[in-house]
């Protein structure tokens, strides 16, 4: 089974920049999108053979997540069930026969770090949420986590330490999540490979010179590590300031 995740940085804009071509070419069984920034009426791409689930932010033109799936889930839920977190359309959880899949768009702390305290609370609640599901079956989480975990995941680590997305607090929370029973699937297969990034600034020449950050992930609960078949970073795919990532898992 092939899973793909992509922060499209605007669904409508990405549709005009080759999204459909990539969608059809990669032929994923499940395709998760973040930061769609679209209303229900604007989500008009309906590929044959897929069911579409949407979690739209209450604030127009902000955040939002979508899942396209060929496999009908046993159940679908939106958000964490926590009032403080569930207005921005940041999560969709799909239950399948042998695993849960969570499409997540983790809040950005903003350049001034004004949402850092909120982000820390989100992280604590999110860890509790995913581990509650983990008690039932394997959990796969994908999406934009808005953090470069270690120095190998960012081009200029020393210069960026303390900046949004590379604060000690954010990095530590990601480590705590992994330590609670999860595996970074890409690092599991590529533990020492540098220069693999998923996000680049729109500043001129940055992407061409591969001055990037790896902030998009597939993580899987440790009980499911034997399901990891292949991991992908589609760095040649444009259409957003993020590139798509993929995970191929063994079926039952």
DSSP 189-218: H-TT--S--SEE-SSTTTTTTT-EE--EEE
- Give 129's contacts (C-beta < 8 A, 6+ positions apart): 80, 81
pLDDT confidence of residue 251: 87
d(Cα 35, Cα 118) in Å, to the nearest integer? 18
Taking only the tens place, the pLDDT of each residue in 127-185 is 999 999 999 999 999 999 999 999 999 999 999 999 999 999 999 999 999 999 999 99
d(CA 170, CA 145): 10
Q: Are 147 and 170 in contact (CB under 8 A)?
A: yes
Cα 130 from chain centre: 14
Q: pLDDT digit string (tens) for 228-239?
A: 999 999 999 999
Confidence of residue 41 (pLDDT cuts 50, 70, 90): very high
Tell me the angle at which helices 116-134 and 168-179 cross, rounded to the nearest 10 degrees.
10
Q: How far apart are CA 79 and CA 88, in angstroms?
A: 9
Contacts of 47 (CB under 8 A, 6+ apart): 20, 23, 24, 68
Is 252's pLDDT higher than 80? no
Average pLDDT over residues 103-107: 98
Q: What is the largest CA-CA distance in the chain?
A: 47
Q: What is the mean pLDDT of the chain?
A: 97
Active site residues: 105, 144
Neighbours of 86 (CB within 10 A): 15
């Amino acid at each position: 089974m092939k899973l793909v995740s992509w922060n499209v940085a605007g669904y409508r804009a990405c549709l005009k920049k080759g999204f459909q071509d990539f969608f059809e070419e990669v032929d994923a069984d499940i395709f998760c999108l973040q930061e769609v920034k679209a209303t229900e009426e604007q989500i008009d791409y309906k590929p044959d053979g897929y069911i579409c689930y949407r979690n739209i932010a209450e604030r127009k033109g902000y955040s939002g997540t979508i899942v396209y799936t060929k496999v009908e889930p046993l159940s679908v839920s939106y958000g964490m069930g926590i009032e403080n977190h569930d207005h921005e359309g940041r999560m969709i959880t799909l239950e399948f026969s042998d695993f849960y899949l969570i499409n997540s768009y983790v809040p950005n702390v903003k350049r001034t770090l004004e949402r850092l305290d909120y982000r820390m609370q989100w992280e604590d609640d999110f860890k509790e949420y995913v581990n509650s599901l983990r008690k039932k079956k394997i959990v796969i989480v994908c999406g934009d986590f808005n953090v470069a975990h270690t120095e190998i995941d960012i081009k200029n680590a020393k210069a960026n330490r303390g900046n949004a997305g590379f604060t000690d607090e954010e990095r530590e929370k990601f480590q705590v999540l992994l330590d609670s029973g999860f595996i970074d699937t890409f690092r599991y297969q590529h533990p020492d490979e540098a220069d693999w990034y998923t996000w680049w600034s729109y500043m001129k020449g940055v992407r061409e010179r591969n001055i990037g950050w790896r902030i998009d992930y597939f993580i899987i609960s440790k009980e499911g590590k034997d399901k990891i078949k292949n991991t992908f970073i589609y760095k040649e795919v444009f259409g957003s300031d993020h590139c798509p990532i993929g995970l191929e898992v063994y079926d039952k």
